[in-house]
Every structure is written in structure tokens, then in C-alpha cells.
Structure 1
Amino acid sequence: MIETRIKTGTIKNIIKETTDKRVSDEAAELLADLLSDEAVTIARVASKLCTHAGRNTITAEDIKVTVI
């Protein structure tokens, strides 16, 4: 499993900037874990697209194709 994850503080900042609600530590940690897992999945699929195209650099298009 990957060690890098989105920081809980970043999640709290996003929620604070986009809503008028507070967020519990537990909720922020859960969302950080979920988003981190999703980012790993997206990166892996985008990497396969990149390799298939004969490139070594994942592009924004690879990410878009993966997500959309």
C-alpha cells in the first residue's frame, strides 16, 4: 500500500473554504483516506494509458480519460 496520503489539514481547509460547516477530525481523516485511495487508482490507470501510448510522462489528458 502507498504511504503518501492527502493531509487531513488540507481536507479541513477545503471544507472550510467551500462550506459554512465545521468538520470533525474523524470525518476529515476518512475523506482524506478515500480521496487518497481514489488518487492512487487514477494514477495507476493513467500510468497504463501513458505506457500504452509509449510515453513516460502522465499528461492531463491521461487523467481526464481516466476520470471521465
Structure 2
Amino acid sequence: RGNTEPARHEDVEHATIITNASSSLREILDAALSSPNGQGILTNDDGSLRGVVALEEVTRAVRSTKEQ
């Protein structure tokens, strides 16, 4: 079942937190660009985890809106 030791701070890849999943595309892009691993953590308004977004996903969304 893999390693059952508790995760240490240095074992965790850090990501920029996007505090609201309804943030603008520009805010999400900024967060993903400024994240050390190119990912942002999406949260709901109540702070619960909604998901993770990768920089590649955000840039695809930006390109898609430019094409419309």
C-alpha cells in the first residue's frame, strides 16, 4: 500500500491557492503562473477543496476564449 509514514513539509509540492473557484480566468492564470509547480488549488467559497488546475489547462481555456 505504499509508504504509510506521515508526509513531511518538504515532501509536499507547493501550489498557489485560488481561494474561490469562481475567480476570473485572469486570476486563475496568475495563480498558476506564480505557483512553483504550475498548479493552483481550487477551493469552494466555504474553503473546502474543489480540485487542482494545471497551467496547461488554464492556457487552453485562455486560447479557447480568444478563438470565440
TM-score (norm 2): 0.31
Greater per-residue strand proportion: 2
Larger radius of gyration: 1
TM-score (norm 1): 0.31
